[in-house]
Amino acid sequence: MARKKPVPALTPLELEIMQALWDLGPAPLQAVHEHVARRKPRAYTTVQTVLQVLHRKGKVAREQRQRAYLYRALETRQTAARRAVSRLLDNLFGGSAESLVLNLVETKQLDAAALERARRLLKGDKS
């Protein structure tokens, strides 16, 4: 049986552009550029090129609206996060979620309150 081709990870710049689309919803290049440039100055043509790459990769759709394209994310933030965490687990923690959580606790990035919320979620208590 043929293996599925792995979905390539988003580059940091591609992720910035996707975050803009997740925040804005469907948007023209100009709006995406303005949103991205609020955090870090980026050339208009750079944002345009990355949107074209994301379109070729099947991560965004584009629709002609008058003289401009309207771009929208085809992958949700949750799906992208799930893939990124899966890669992180595989690449740095040998697939061990426990090792990741222990690392977060040891580096004080996860506190007792967050651990308690996680414990309640594991027990099925959504409050």
Report pTM: 0.78
Return the bridge partners of 70, or none. 28, 63
Q: Are residues 94 and 43 in the same domain?
A: no
Give the single-character DSSP code of 124: T
Whether 54 and 69 have beta carbons less than 8 Å apart is answered as no
* SS3 label, residue 74: coil
The tokens of 47 are what? 């944002």
- Report helix angle 77-93 to 97-106, nearest 10: 90
The CATH number of residue 87's host domain is: 1.10.4040
> Rounded CA gap, 47 and 17, in Å?
7
Residue 5 domain-assigned? no
21 in any annotated domain? yes
Q: What is the pLDDT along the chain (127 residues), one digit of tens a residue?
A: 555 666 678 999 999 999 999 999 999 999 999 999 999 999 999 999 999 999 999 999 999 988 889 999 999 999 999 988 898 899 899 988 888 888 888 998 888 898 889 889 888 876 6
Provide the CATH number for the domain around residue 29. 1.10.10.10
